[in-house]
Every structure is written in structure tokens, then in C-alpha cells.
Amino acid sequence: MDVELLSRIQFAVTIGFHYIYPPLSIGLGIALVIMEATWLRTRNVMYLEMTKFWAKIFGLIFALGVATGIVMEFEFGTNWASYSRFVGDVFGSALAAEGVFAFFLESGFLALLLFGWDKVKPGLHFFATVMVALGAHFSAVWIIVANSWMQTPTGYHLVQTANGIRAEITDFWVMVFNPSSFDRLSHTVMGAWQAGAFLVISVGAFYLLRNKYEKFAKSSIRIGLIIAVVASLMQLVTGHSSARMVAQHQPAKLAAFEGIYEDGEPADLTIIGWVDEENEQVYGIKIPGMLSWMVHGDANAPITGLDAFLPEDRPPVQFTFQAYHAMVAIGMLLILLAVGGAFLAWRGILWEKKWLLWVYVFSVLLPQIANQIGWAAAEVGRQPWIVYNLMRTSEGLSVTVSRGDVLTSLILFTLIYIGLFVLFIFLMDDKIRKGPAMTEPGLETEGHRA
């Protein structure tokens, strides 16, 4: 493996591992706001204990997010120095804004959220919780703006400097609102809400199976389901809008998502399939003309195929195709689980069926997988470009960093992150087993008014 591949793998490992945590913070942030608001409105102590319980889990998730996030802030410089020189003027601004507007907000108010229960009045504590959730969303805004600029660069021009060509901002807001920012942000944030919601649902279902904290568990599941239903249905809208945006601005990526080779013809939508990259064929279950209809509202409209691009300008098709299709399939499953779960909870059936509860215990994995492979599809689909149509990934490397350097750091990152993951699971398990502090007797079986 050469430096480029090793650097790409290292970036994938570090960002993939980091990305377990921020979506959970964003989604749990929303759940915490709902829980604490319910506590303030009803004064039912159970909701206070619920907020405290999930705040502790939030703290653990946040700590891992911070620990693995610092790596990301500097990895552009360590491994992608040429890229950094080329985009710093544009990309760096978004990253700096993220630090100033999001991280300080989040980390400052997190101290109040975690340690401030006895230090500040309930109203101020709730304000802190809202600010933490807001901070988590702000960081999503800026990092997705930065990444979207790499997908659909606008608001810049190329300038010759003493040390080569670089991109410079011509209009900050055009850079911020580049064509893909909004679609990708809404899609990502809804994915994050799903991650948080299904974590809450999963733990609630686990308690019900163990016959513990019944009221607490049911109320948690209801809150989780509300968020899950909203986010999962919204994914239909944001996902569809994202795909149309990709079709317009990154046609090679859309062609790889759907495995379309033939250029300028109406295209079918493959539900499930296999790409034969050598013979440029896709085998599978297809709906004729459906892709054309979804993108252009006309089943006979032409779609740009991979044939329109030189072989060296095409992304890897099989990987992008499978990751994208798996994400869509999971998205559909999550709608079923969210809407179906809400219906079953409303009819009281959900609490009766053990196998159903087990399904919901494991449902926590689905948004995580979808978030990971969705990002993988978006980033691999951008290849061979690091900045779409402007700079190739191979041109973005650090020229002074050797294969041995990257191999060593990659091995160490992998080992450390495996250790961190084991530790995270162990501590989550520990916290979930300990459960919420039930300060008043009777709380386990019936809601108690304070």
C-alpha cells in the first residue's frame, strides 16, 4: 500500500470512529431537551431522573467525541498538507468558525449540564441543556459546510501564489451556502436524531425485557419514538432532495450510487443489485425509468452515466453503489421501525411482545451503520477528487510524510481506537446496568408526583 491509500485508510478509520459519537450527541441532545422540558412542565420526578440518567450517558459520549475529534482538527495538516495549503483560505474559515461558535458553547454549557444540578436554578440548567444541544447542531453546520464545499465548491477563485495555486474565498456566504450545504446538513442532522432516538428506545426496550424501571422505560421509549418518527420521515424528504442535488452537481457520484454506465439514456432504479465493473453492467431488481422519474419527474428523461467520464475521473462503483443502497434500505427499515413502533406503543402491543422488544434493543445499530456507510458513499463517490473537479486526492497528500510514518500511526490509531471502543461499550453497559437513580420508592412501577 502506498502513502495515499494508507492516508486515506487512516482518515477513514479516524473519522469513522469519531463519527460514532457526534450523531449520538446531537440526537441525545434533542432527547435531553424534551426530557428536561417535560420535567419542568409536569414536575414529575421521573423525568428529572431520566434527564440525569441520559445526561451521564451524554457525558461519556461527549468525552469520546472530544478525544477523537481533536485528531480530526489536525489531521488535515499532518496527512493532507498539500490539500491544506490549497484550501486553507476557504476550508479553514469554516473549521475556525466551528471552534468559535460551536465547541465553546457546547463544552461550556456541558459543565453546567453535567455538574450544575445543585449549583444553578432549574430554569438556568434547562437553558444550559438547550445550549448544549444547540452547540452540537452548530458544529454539524460548520463541518458540513466545510465538507460540502469539497463536494460542490462555490464562492472561491483560484489564485497563483509564490508557493503554487490555491483557492481563495470570493464570497463567504456563497461558500457557506454552496449548492449541497443545505441538503447534506438536513440529511446528516436527521441521521443524527435517528441515532440518538434509537439509543433511547433500545435502552428502554432492554429495561422492559428485564422487568426493570417499567414507567421510566416506557416514557423513554415514547420520547425516543417521537424523535424517531419525525427524523425517519424527514429522511424521505432530505434523502430525495440530496439525491436530486447530487444528480445536478455531482453526476459521476449519482451514476456510481445507482450503477449507471450508459450516458444520456433514461435510467432504471435498482432496488438491490450487483455491479460488474469490468463489463459495466448492473444485475439486480430494477424499476424501469424510475431513476429518471425521481430526478427529473419524467421516466424518459436522460441521466448522465459513467461513460460520460474518463476512466480516471470515475469513483469506485461497486463500493459506492452497495454503501448507498444499504443506506437507503436501512432508511426504509427505520421508517418501518419508527412508525410501526409508535403504532404498537399506542396500542400497547409493543410492551407485550418480547421478540418485538428485542428487535428494538438491536435497532440502535441501524442508524449507526446507515450514518457510517452513508458518509462512506458520499466521500468515496467524490473520488478521485478531494475537492470536486479541482484537486485530486493524490495531489492533497503531505509530501514530507513517509509511508512508514503513516503505517505506524495507522496501526497505533487502530489499536487505540479498538481499545477505546471496548472501553466505551463496557462503560455504557455498566451505566445501563446501574440504571437511573430512583430516589423515591414506587417510582419503578408508577409515575410519582413530586
Partner 1 sequence: MNGLETLPIIWYMLVGVLLTGYAILDGFDLGTGALHLFTKKDIDRRTLLNAIGPFWDGNEVWLVTAGGALFAAFPEVYASAFSGFYTAFILLLFMLIFRAVSIDVRSKRAEETWRKSWDIAFSVSSLVAALLIGVALGNIAKGVPVGPDFEYDGNLLEQVNPYSLLVGLTTVAMFMMHASIYLVMKTEGELQQQIRGWVQNTLIFFLMMYVLTTMATLVYVPHMAEPYRNHGWLFIVPLISVLAVANIPREISRGNELRAFLSSSATIAALMALFGIGMFPNMMHSSLSPEYSLTAFNAASSPRTLTTMLIIAVIGLPLVLGYTAGIYWVFRGKVKLNDHSY
Q: In the bound complex, what is the minimum distance in angstroms from residue 127's beta carbon to partner 1? A: 11
Closer residue to partner 1, CB minimum distance, 101 or 309: 101
Between residue 398 and residue 417, which ones bind partner 1 under the rule CB under 8 A?
398-401, 405, 408-409, 412, 416
Q: From the CB of 408, what's the least distance to partner 1, in Å?
A: 8
Q: Which of 11, 53, 103, 213 binds partner 1 (CB under 8 A)?
A: 103
Binding residues for partner 1 restricted to 132-191, rule: CB under 8 A:
159, 162-163, 166, 168-170, 172
- Considering beta carbons, is residue 168 or 298 the nearer one to partner 1? 168
In eight-state DSSP terms, residue 194 is H
Is 118 a residue that touches partner 1 (CB under 8 A)?
yes
Q: How many angstroms separate the CA atoms of 350 and 144, rounded?
A: 37
DSSP helix/strand/coil, 308: helix
Here's the x/- map for partner 1, 58-87, by CB under 8 A: it reads as: -xx-xxx-xxxxxx-xx-xxxx-xx-xx-x
Contact with partner 1 (CB under 8 A) among 437, 440, 442, 445: 437
Count of residues touching partner 1 (by CB under 8 A): 74
Joined together, the cell numbers standing for residue 57 give 450517558
List binders of partner 1 among 194-253 (CB under 8 A).
Answer: none
Kindly tell me which residue out of 104, 274, 346, 421 binds partner 1, with binding defined by CB under 8 A: 104
Among 5, 111, 365, 369, binds partner 1 (CB under 8 A): 111
- 104 near 89, Cβ under 8 Å? no
Cα–Cα distance between 244 and 251 in angstroms, integer?
10
Q: What is the DSSP string of 139-167?
A: HHHHHHHHHHHHHS--SEEEEEETTEEEE
DSSP state of 213: S
CA distance 256 to 275: 10
Phi-psi region at 403: left, alpha or beta (left = phi > 0; alpha = psi -120 to 50) = alpha
97 binds partner 1 (CB under 8 A): yes
Shortest CB 54 distance to partner 1, Å: 14
**d(Cα 445, Cα 13) in Å, to the nearest integer?**
44
Positions of E strands within 42-194: 156-161, 164-169
- Asked if residues 189 and 26 have their Cβ atoms less than 8 Å apart, the reply is yes
Is residue 110 part of the contact set for partner 1 (CB under 8 A)? yes
Choose the binding region for partner 1 from 219-227, 285-293, 360-368, 397-405 (rule: CB under 8 A): 397-405
Based on CB atoms, which residue is closest to partner 1, 32 or 208? 32
Near partner 1 by CB under 8 A: residue from 6, 11, 39, 98: 98
d(CA 10, CA 32): 33
